[in-house]
A and B are shown apart, each in its own frame.
Chain A
Amino acid sequence: MRPMLLVGGRVIDPSRGFDEPADVLLVDGMIAAVGRGFGRPDEVELLDVAGLVVAPGLVDVHTHLREPGQEDRETIATGAMAAAAGGFTAICAMPNTDPPIDNQSAVGFVVKQGAAAAGARVYPIGAISLGQRGEQLAEFGELVGAGAVAVSDDGHPVASGHMMRTALEYARTFGIPVADHCEEPTLAARGVMHEGVVATRLGLKGIPAAAEEIMVARDILLARHTGGHVHLCHMSTRGSVELIRRAKEQGSRVTAEACPHHFSLTHEACAGYNTNAKMNPPLREPEDVEAIRRGLKDGTIDCIATDHAPHHYDAKEREFDDAPFGIVGLETALGLGVTTLVDGGVLTLSELLDRMSTVPARVFGLPGGSLAPGQPADIVVFDPAAQWTVDPGRFRSKSRNTPFAGWELRGRVLRTIVGGRLMYQAA
């Protein structure tokens, strides 16, 4: 592998509070030097990145790659490529596949497919319970031994308080977070969108904010009780943000993520029965969007995750009640972050990259998220000012289910480098 020198960019490394013009030297798949005037090795490949941002590659702790079992929607290979096209160098794959990733050989399969993929690094998340049925704990020790970086029953919320408690306690042995999709099942049952005036107008069954908040509160209390690390997935309500803020003040081991759609859209996006605006947790009210943005700013919400959820086009070409939840997110996340949060005056560019790279890597204990010498050469190069139009037909993902088609976004990924290799280059 030839050494690579990225010349003339604006280097932003949130892990070190670094934001200035600098060159970045990559040798043997690692960051060798960041700065100016260091010697150039022989045969170095020069990359002119003048006017562009060079940052640690983005890290997504919440994706659904659908393999094994639903390869018509996505595969690990296409998901990893879509991630690279979105500027991600590491993604975590949720275990709600068919069959679910609830044993060491299944984890090994994801690791093997990920290693063969030409894109972002793929880290498996193991199931909390066998079959994600919420009855019997999965073998966390073997899951972690095979490469799992966290456990979650995402897609099948952990209804039992006892199961959640046990998972948090048992996960402490292995130092992994327990990621929970917070949803009180009896309150959310058969709901298809946020319970509010839009659902009332459309005549659709609502999912109340309290369905999420009750489980957020439960998980916070169980984290405090057990000392375990709970990671709260895709927070969507102002009440959840408030609960997490108080929990952090009290020192609980709680981390939380929010999705680009939850800081960019409200439940009004469901008007006209737009099935590409159907996701779980649902799009909420303007006050919730505002709270998520404030939470990202003050660190109450630690990081941004996509909840990338590919679906075949005809699955969304259904009555709203019957369409599946979820949207693809890997290829629009950075553009939405730059456009909504940075241009919207919520975060600085450095703070955005912190929430999309440094913090998620730290929360899940992954390599990357930093340009410190010795770190893996996982890098995104993007133009924060370049405008582009979201065209799902150009996605690397197998699926096209996005509510952002036609949106004009700023922040265009030009190159993604994983372990010193160029995995994506914009046309």
Chain B
Amino acid sequence: MTPTLGKDLLGLEPLSGEQLRLILDTAEPFKEVSERAIKKVPTLRGKTIVNLFFESSTRTRISFEFAEKRLSADTVNIAGSGSSVQKGETLVDTARNLEAMRIDMVVMRHPSSGAARFLAERIRSNVVNAGDGTHEHPTQGLLDLLTIRDRLGRIEGAKVCICGDILHSRVARSNIWGLLKLGAHVAVCGPQSLLPRGIEELGVTVFRRIEDAIAWADVLNVLRLQLERMNAGFIPSLREYYRVFGVTVERLERAPRDLVILHPGPMNRGVEIDSRVADGPHSVILHQVTNGVAVRMAVLYLLAGGRPELAEAAKSGREGGE
């Protein structure tokens, strides 16, 4: 029995290891579509997808849009500002109105944790969480998993440390769940003021010094440090953050092995990461971006009811007649 994803992708916490592997395996054939001269397959022809972004996003929104267009879906983009939300409409009313126009899927970014689930419980369309508050960002987690698997050949047994502002990071939460379910060893590293309470209870190791994390890890996933965290008093200054927690060439040179460096972007060069590391041979940051499109194609394909064993055929457009 082939596992399925169900109606929605709300996070990686509710998924099984088998479901995660299904998405990653389904992404493999879709990688190739983006390498072609004509980057389009007819798989989602006739499907309507709404990209509902209540928070600004460049990378994630564009990556979803490419994934949708390359699968031949019809897409509509709605941004939080300028929409009826600005006029005081509630999320549930927005959702009901969209549904009344007979759509098939909603991809939503929202500043409140749990908003994607809230929406999914109230509409029949498939919902893909493109980041909800500080909860989860499942497609980012998936593309990180795919990138680690590409580089190391496996995820099981890999030592991955997520570095930086774990407290406010939905990327961290999706990474933690995805990595743990696929058998990786997971650690987090950052100032304690940016580590959420009880994080150890999720099954992760905590490093208080970046040097210790680097000595332990095979992979570092370096999170963006939001500049507003300094103003909110979580850290004294960006300068000090870089001195104490920055992932620098000097620190990496002391590591017992070559590390793979991930970053979900957008980067603050010279804050959480040294430019020479970001642009260096161990960085897979652009590879992550490329994988993002393939992973999102796989998610949309599977949620639309596509059968994983036909993904290879779907990419060559031979799936008709289902």
- Does B associate with A? yes
Interface residues of A (CB under 8 A from B): 195-197, 199-206, 208, 272-273, 314, 317-322
A196 touches B115 (CB 8 A): no
- Asked, given contacts A202-B113, A317-B92, A318-B90, whether A197 binds B201 with beta carbons under 8 Å apart, the answer is yes
Within 8 Å by CB of B197, from A197, A273, A318, A320, lies A197
Given contacts A206-B197, A319-B91, contact A200 B202 (CB under 8 A): yes
Contact B117 A200 (CB under 8 A): no
Tell me if B274 counts as interface (CB < 8 A to partner A). no
11 A-B pairs besides A202-B135, A203-B173, A321-B133 with CB distance below 8 A are A199-B196, A200-B199, A200-B201, A203-B114, A203-B136, A203-B170, A204-B133, A206-B197, A318-B91, A319-B112, A320-B113
Within B87-141, the residues touching A (CB, 8 Å) are 90-92, 110-115, 117-118, 132-136
Question: B91: which A residues are within 8 A, CB to CB?
Answer: 318-319
Roughly how many angstroms separate A104 CA and B103 CA in the complex, as a whole number?
57
Q: Flag whether B82 is at the interface (Cβ < 8 A).
A: no
Candidates A195, A201, A205, A321; contact of B202 at CB < 8 Å: A201
A321 touches B112 (CB 8 A): yes
Q: Is the CB of B112 within 8 A of A197?
A: no
| Least CB distance, B111 to chain A, in whole angstroms | 8
Residues of chain A with a CB closer than 8 A to B173's CB:
201, 203
Given A203-B132, A203-B133, is A322 in contact with B112 using a C-beta cutoff of 8 Å?
yes
Q: Are B118 and A273 in contact (CB under 8 A)?
A: yes
Closest to A274 in B: B114
Min CB distance A33 to B, Å, is: 57
User: Does B46 make an interface contact (CB < 8 A)?
Assistant: no
Interface size class of B (residues with CB under 8 A): 20 to 34
Question: Are A314 and B90 interface neighbours, CB within 8 A?
Answer: yes
The total of Cβ contacts below 8 Å across the A-B interface reads 67
Asked whether A200 lies within 8 Å of B198 as measured between CB atoms, the reply is yes
Top 8 closest pairs, chain A to chain B, by CB: A203-B135, A197-B198, A273-B114, A319-B112, A203-B113, A203-B134, A200-B196, A321-B112
- For B112, the chain A residues whose CB sits under 8 A away are 319-322
Please tell me if B13 contacts chain A, counting CB pairs below 8 Å.
yes
Contacts of B117 in A (CB 8 A): 272-273
Residues of B within 8 A of A200 (CB): 196-199, 201-202
Query: How far does the alpha carbon of A204 sit from the alpha carbon of B196 in the complex, in Å?
Result: 10
A312 to nearest B CB, angstroms? 12
Distance in Å from the Cβ of A267 to the closest Cβ of chain B? 10
In the assembled complex, which residues on chain A have CB atoms less than 8 Å from the CB atom of B13? 201
A273 to B133, CA, bound (A): 13
Given the complex, which residues of A lie within 8 Å of B115, measured CB to CB?
Answer: 319
A273 to B113, alpha carbons, bound, how many Å?
A: 8
Mask for B46-79, Cβ within 8 A of A = 1, else 0?
A: 0000000000000000000000000000000000
A235 to B92, CA, bound (A): 34
Task: Tell me the smallest distance from the CB of B140 to a CB of chain A, in Å.
Answer: 14
Nearest residue, chain B, Cβ from A186 = B233
A199–B197 CA distance with the chains assembled, in angstroms = 8
Interface string of B163-206 (1 = CB under 8 A from A): 00000001001000000000000000000000011110110000
B166: nearest residue on chain A (CB-CB)? A200
> If A318-B91, A321-B133 touch, does A197 touch B114 (CB 8 Å cutoff)?
no
Contact B198 A204 (CB under 8 A): no
Q: Which of A199, A314, A319 contacts B110 (CB 8 A)?
A: A319
Q: Shortest CB–CB separation between residue A165 and chain B, in angstroms?
A: 28
Q: Are B113 and A196 in contact (CB under 8 A)?
A: no
| Residues of A contacting B134 in the complex (Cβ-Cβ under 8 angstroms) | 203-205
